[in-house]
A = this chain, B = another copy of it.
Amino acid sequence: MAVTVELLKRFPMLQSLSEQELEQLAQQSSIKSVSRRAVVINGGVASDYLCFLFEGRLQGVDFTLDGREVGLYFVEPGDFCGELGLYDKQGQPESVIALSKSQIILMPVSAVRTAIQGSHQMVESLFTRMATRVRKLSAQRALLGLSSTVARVCGQLWMMLEEQDSLNRREGVIAYPPTHQELGIMLNLSRETVTRVFQTLQTQEVVKRDGTTRLLVLDEKSLRALFEAGDG
């Protein structure tokens, strides 16, 4: 199936490109439909394509040595992924899989590189994006350095809260929170320990579950305090 210029215009990252440049990109790109749980980008392997999503939902995941997977971030329609190996042929450490049936655009890195040459806007966007990623990874590393288990969990919850869209952020809602198991893997804790921490937080009325899909942060201040108490 052919990629149209109109379709590419939907992506904020490509907004600064001229009609002509978009046409170039469109011609070299292709659309692909992937089913649920399909691997879109293979972790650790160099890929020749950037992957733009216009329908469905993707997730960046890493695998532990014993084969379990850790959710790292989501890719929503209008966003893209796979930019890490844009200039060095090394790919990215984590894999990206489809959470539901999705429509993606595969855009050759060579074409993207050409486009970047014409648009300094794109350089800025990409650079800022990478910088954000470095900061996030850095924060995550700092989190794992905390010795207290409650601090680690609270820190993670805090980070997730900050990443919510503005409405959820204001109301203290974490949408689609990870399971205790997943949190455990991210924070280097056992599933049971996470459950126990949550029990504490719930009896202290710091957080509250709202069905499977939402986690309410009732007391943002305490959450932050517990996180910043850190050691001990």
In A97-151, which residues have CB < 8 Å from any B CB? 116-117, 120, 123-124, 126-128, 130-135, 137-142, 144-147
Given known contacts A93-B139, A123-B116, A185-B145, A132 and B64 CB-to-CB distance under 8 angstroms: no
Given known contacts A117-B120, A127-B86, A230-B66, A188 and B147 CB-to-CB distance under 8 angstroms: yes
- Judge if A167 is at the interface, Cβ distance under 8 Å: no
Task: Report B-chain residues with C-beta under 8 Å of the C-beta of A90.
Answer: 131, 135
- Judge if A2 is at the interface, Cβ distance under 8 Å: no
Closest B residue to A123 by beta carbon equals B123
Within the complex, which residue of B65, B130, B231 is in contact with A134, where a contact is CB–CB below 8 Å?
Answer: B130
How large, as a class, is the contact surface on chain A?
35 or more
Closest B residue to A62 by beta carbon equals B142
Q: Is the interface of A mostly helix, strand, loop or mixed?
A: helix
Given known contacts A65-B228, A94-B138, A185-B145, A127 and B130 CB-to-CB distance under 8 angstroms: yes
Known A-B contacts: A87-B124, A92-B135. Give 19 more (CB < 8 A): A62-B138, A62-B142, A64-B145, A65-B146, A65-B228, A66-B230, A84-B135, A87-B127, A88-B131, A116-B120, A116-B123, A117-B120, A123-B123, A130-B130, A133-B134, A134-B134, A137-B138, A144-B144, A144-B145
Q: Which 6 A-B pairs have the closest CB atoms?
A: A65-B230, A137-B137, A93-B138, A144-B144, A130-B130, A88-B128
- Interface pairs (13), CB distance under 8 Å: A65-B231, A85-B131, A87-B124, A87-B128, A88-B131, A92-B135, A93-B139, A94-B138, A126-B127, A133-B134, A134-B137, A140-B141, A144-B144
User: Residues of A at under 8 Å CB distance from B?
Assistant: 62, 64-66, 70, 84-88, 90, 92-94, 116-117, 120, 123-124, 126-128, 130-135, 137-142, 144-147, 185, 188, 228, 230-231
